[in-house]
């Protein structure tokens, strides 16, 4: 059977099963690619493909494991309590202010370039507010994910670095013309937050809820016995040091997280019993996220190892008629939405982007324009079940992945369209060569 067709069928089957909740993502990530690998006639090599995929995602799995433990421990110590208290004073119990603040806070924290760290820090500060006022947590994950998708276009972010590397371009040169589109995308999200806020205000009014600031004096931590207010300055310095080293890239992120967690345990909970208790308290979140990461390794390993990704890329480029050649930049922007959702960023930027750039070059479209256009689908990409940080996000907030995908898909597409239109107007990638 044609590998490209088989690849599309595999992705469609997988997405249908998890979005209709006929199968959990963990099971689907393992069973569906294994089944299609057998159908492709490559059962003999499936084991090696799976192991390769798991190896590629192993550093990410380790990083997320210790990131959850570290930042959950910091939350237990009460490090983020002052931040939450200040936020409460600013919002005065107004859901619209909380939602607008969600976009603003995420945009600032996202400057570190790491989605997982962004989610952990912002959720630690914001989730208590959403719980206190019984706000729809789908609003929280929607705004956090789409904001992170926009801010992920910075030169030190993964997608821009991949696009630049694949086409041998300067990341800074790619990034600067994207700024107007990013600003427009954030403005759109502020508008979306205002709309969500009006709905929350109406709901609270119908429910007869009287907003007060009584929450201001309540404990944020759900483990009051674990709080360490006398160590707040040490813990703050530890977090700042971690984030600084993360940006500098002195050590791999997974190693930094492991070291930071070990230091946090030794200083805050020197007793072995206390350390075991803190680890056990967050073991559920860790298992839920890390198990999905390794299962995703099986999916990506088979998708790439069987040659489906390459076949899918060539099939899509092959159906673009020559008359559409001068419009390769907007076509690339359009294709980035589904393809960065269905396949990994590595597969798209290192496998498909060079093919698109080569096709565009025949019609006089600059590779910089193709590279910038290829970044427009990032807000939708983060909805993909192949993105590790997405599992972390829904796990920390306590909602189902399928519910998140159904709710956020349309807003994410809208953000991509806004950025693309502004990008074309600002000539980041011209509409026609």
Give 214 or 352, the one with higher predicted confidence: 352
What is the rounded distance in angstroms from the CA atom of residue 78 to the CA atom of residue 371?
43
What is the rounded distance in angstroms from the CA atom of residue 291 to the CA atom of residue 321?
43
Query: So what's the pLDDT on residue 216?
Result: 45
Query: So what's the pLDDT on residue 220?
Result: 46
The pLDDT tens digits of the residues spanning 72-89 come to 888 888 887 787 677 767
How wide is the angle at C-alpha 219 spanned by C-alphas 218 and 220, nearest 5°? 115
What is the rounded distance in angstroms from the CA atom of residue 125 to the CA atom of residue 78?
11
Query: So what's the pLDDT on residue 214?
Result: 43
CA distances from 322 to 70, 88, 359, 368, 372 (A): 53, 57, 10, 21, 22
Q: How far apart are the first and last CA of the chain?
A: 37
Query: So what's the pLDDT on residue 94?
Result: 84
Query: So what's the pLDDT on residue 69?
Result: 87
Query: So what's the pLDDT on residue 207?
Result: 56
What is the rounded distance in angstroms from the CA atom of residue 130 to the CA atom of residue 122?
12
Q: What percent of the chain has pLDDT over 90?
A: 34
Query: So what's the pLDDT on residue 219?
Result: 42
What is the rounded distance in angstroms from the CA atom of residue 402 to the CA atom of residue 400?
6
The pLDDT tens digits of the residues spanning 62-75 come to 877 888 888 888 88
What is the rounded distance in angstroms from the CA atom of residue 185 to the CA atom of residue 188?
5
The pLDDT tens digits of the residues spanning 391-411 come to 889 988 989 888 999 999 999
The pLDDT tens digits of the residues spanning 210-231 come to 555 444 444 444 677 888 989 9
What is the rounded distance in angstroms from the CA atom of residue 107 to the CA atom of residue 172?
19
* Dihedral pair phi/psi, residue 135, rounded to 5°: -80, 155
Helix (H, G, I), strand (E, B) or coil at 208: coil
Give 161 or 208, the one with higher predicted confidence: 161
Helix (H, G, I), strand (E, B) or coil at 85: helix
Question: Residue 271 contacts by C-beta under 8 Å, 6 or more apart in sequence?
Answer: none
Question: How high is the mean pLDDT of the chain?
Answer: 85
Q: Report the pLDDT averaged over residues 232-256.
A: 85
The burial of 203, by beta-carbon neighbours within 10 Å (0-12 exposed, 13-18 middle, 19 or more buried), is given as middle
**219 φψ region: left (φ > 0), alpha (ψ -120 to 50), beta (else):** beta
* Candidate from 136-140, 177-181, 213-217, 361-365 with smallest mean pLDDT: 213-217
The pLDDT tens digits of the residues spanning 271-299 come to 999 999 999 988 887 887 788 788 888 98
Q: Report the pLDDT averaged over residues 99-108.
A: 90
Beta carbons of 57 and 324 less than 8 angstroms apart? no
Structure tokens at 205: 């009014």
Position 51 pLDDT exceeds 90 = yes
Position 32 pLDDT exceeds 60 = yes
The pLDDT tens digits of the residues spanning 302-323 come to 988 888 877 877 787 778 788 8
What is the CB neighbour count within 10 angstroms for residue 350?
15
How does DSSP assign 64-133, residue by residue?
HHHHHHHHHHHHHHTTTHHHHHHHHHHHTT-HHHHHHHHHHHHHHHGGGS-HHHHHHHHHHHHHHHHHHT
The burial of 97, by beta-carbon neighbours within 10 Å (0-12 exposed, 13-18 middle, 19 or more buried), is given as middle
Where do we find the tokens 């995602």? 57
Position 256 pLDDT exceeds 70 = yes
Beta carbons of 301 and 56 less than 8 angstroms apart? yes
Question: Residue 59 contacts by C-beta under 8 Å, 6 or more apart in sequence?
Answer: 252, 253, 254
Query: So what's the pLDDT on residue 236?
Result: 92
Query: So what's the pLDDT on residue 217?
Result: 43
Query: So what's the pLDDT on residue 206?
Result: 62
């Amino acid at each position: 059977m044609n590998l490209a067709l088989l690849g599309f069928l595999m992705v469609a089957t997988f997405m249908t099963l998890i979005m209709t909740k006929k199968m959990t993502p963990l099971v689907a990530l393992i069973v569906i690619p294994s089944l299609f690998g057998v159908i492709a006639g490559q059962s003999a090599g499936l084991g090696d493909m799976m192991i390769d995929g798991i190896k590629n995602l192993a550093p990410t799995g380790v990083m997320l494991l210790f990131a959850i433990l570290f930042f959950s421990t910091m939350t237990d110590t009460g490090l983020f309590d002052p931040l939450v208290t200040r936020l409460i004073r600013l919002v005065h119990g107004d859901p619209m202010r909380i939602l607008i603040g969600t976009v603003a806070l995420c945009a600032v924290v996202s400057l570190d370039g790491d989605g997982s760290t962004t989610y952990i820090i912002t959720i630690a500060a914001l989730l208590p507010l959403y719980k206190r006022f019984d706000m729809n947590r789908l609003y929280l994950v929607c705004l956090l994910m789409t904001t992170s998708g926009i801010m992920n276009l910075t030169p030190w972010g993964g997608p821009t670095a991949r696009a630049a590397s694949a086409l041998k371009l300067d990341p800074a040169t790619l990034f600067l013309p994207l700024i107007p589109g990013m600003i427009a995308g954030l403005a759109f999200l502020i508008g979306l937050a205002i709309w969500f806020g009006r709905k929350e205000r109406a709901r609270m009014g119908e429910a007869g809820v009287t907003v007060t600031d009584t929450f201001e004096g309540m404990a944020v931590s759900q483990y009051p016995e674990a709080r360490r207010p006398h160590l707040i300055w040490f813990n703050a310095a530890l977090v700042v040091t971690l984030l600084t080293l993360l940006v500098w890239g002195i050590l791999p992120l997974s190693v930094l997280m492991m070291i930071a967690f070990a230091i946090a345990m030794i200083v805050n909970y020197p007793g072995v019993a206390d350390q075991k208790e803190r680890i056990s308290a967050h073991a559920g979140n860790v298992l839920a996220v890390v198990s999905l990461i390794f299962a995703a390794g099986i999916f990506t390993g088979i998708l790439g190892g069987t040659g489906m990704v390459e076949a899918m890329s060539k099939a899509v480029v092959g159906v673009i008629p020559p008359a559409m050649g001068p419009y390769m930049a907007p076509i690339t922007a359009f294709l980035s939405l589904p393809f960065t959702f269905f396949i990994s960023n590595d597969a798209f930027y290192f496998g498909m982007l060079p093919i698109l750039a080569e096709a565009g070059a025949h019609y006089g479209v600059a590779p910089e324009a193709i590279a910038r256009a290829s970044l427009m689908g990032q807000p939708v990409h983060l909805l993909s079940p192949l993105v590790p940080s997405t599992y972390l996000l829904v796990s920390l907030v306590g909602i189902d992945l399928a519910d998140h995908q159904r709710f956020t898909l349309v807003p994410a597409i809208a953000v991509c369209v806004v950025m693309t239109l502004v990008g074309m107007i600002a000539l980041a990638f011209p509409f026609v060569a």
